[in-house]
């Protein structure tokens, strides 16, 4: 169970439903929701696609790390939808662990994510060969998600409300 003073962080692959689930969980817990991708876009006034195209992935990752750290430092307990790549940075993984936040990994078979990521304009990394890219990403990141997670919620064949209930449990 999540403590009232503890941040809740959702991690997992792109397309797994972090943004949607975080929104509903935030309503249920009556907490603000911070979505790292949306915070970056609001702060820079640019889309993620523009940031990737103009400044490159490493510039995006630096912004992502900064926004994650700020979210974890929020004085009030929040729900954080952490973008799929946050676990790539070792400092991010340490920050997640050291923050004392409750980290829930939303986990899906990468094959089921292919159709979902196609609609996402903020995902330039899967423009080419989404199925192969997602599979490779999953293989690289699976141990990293496992490393930071306090709990794992399987999302395949589950509705949003079922996933929300599992996260809250």
Q: Which of 76, 120, 115, 74 is nearest to 95 (CA)?
A: 74
The C-alpha atoms of residue 116 and residue 123 are separated, in whole angstroms, by 11
Strands 102-107 and 79-81 turn out to be unpaired
Q: Is 104 in the site for ligand S3P (CB under 6 A)?
A: no
Q: Is 85 in the site for ligand S3P (CB under 6 A)?
A: yes
Given the complex with ligand S3P, which of 26 and 84 has the nearer CB atom?
Answer: 84
Given the complex with ligand S3P, which of 83 and 164 has the nearer CB atom?
Answer: 83
Q: Is 122 in the site for ligand S3P (CB under 6 A)?
A: yes
Q: What angle do CA 17, 80, 152 make, to 5 degrees?
A: 55
The only residue of 80, 83, 155, 163 in contact with ligand S3P, by rule CB under 6 A: 83
Instruction: Determine the interface stretch with ligand S3P among 2-10, 80-88, 103-111, 154-162 (rule: CB under 6 A).
Output: 80-88
Q: First vs last Cα of the chain: how many Å apart?
A: 6
- The binding site for ligand S3P (CB under 6 A) comprises 14, 18, 37, 48, 83-85, 120, 122-123, 125
């Amino acid at each position: 169970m999540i403590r009232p003073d503890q941040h809740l962080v959702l991690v997992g692959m792109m397309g797994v439903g972090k943004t949607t689930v975080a929104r509903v969980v935030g309503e249920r817990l009556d907490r603000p929701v911070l979505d790292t991708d949306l915070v970056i876009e609001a702060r820079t006034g640019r889309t993620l696609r523009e940031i990737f195209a103009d400044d490159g992935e490493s510039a995006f990752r630096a912004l992502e790390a900064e926004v994650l750290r700020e979210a974890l430092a929020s004085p009030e307990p929040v729900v954080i939808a952490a973008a799929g790549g946050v676990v790539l940075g070792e400092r991010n993984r340490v920050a997640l662990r050291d923050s004392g936040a409750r980290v829930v990994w939303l986990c899906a078979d990468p094959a089921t994510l292919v159709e979902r990521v196609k609609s996402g304009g903020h995902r330039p990394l899967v423009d080419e060969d989404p199925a192969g890219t997602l599979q490779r990403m999953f293989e690289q990141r699976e141990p990293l998600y496992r490393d930071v997670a306090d709990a794992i919620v399987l999302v395949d064949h589950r509705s949003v409300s079922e996933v929300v209930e599992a996260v809250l449990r």
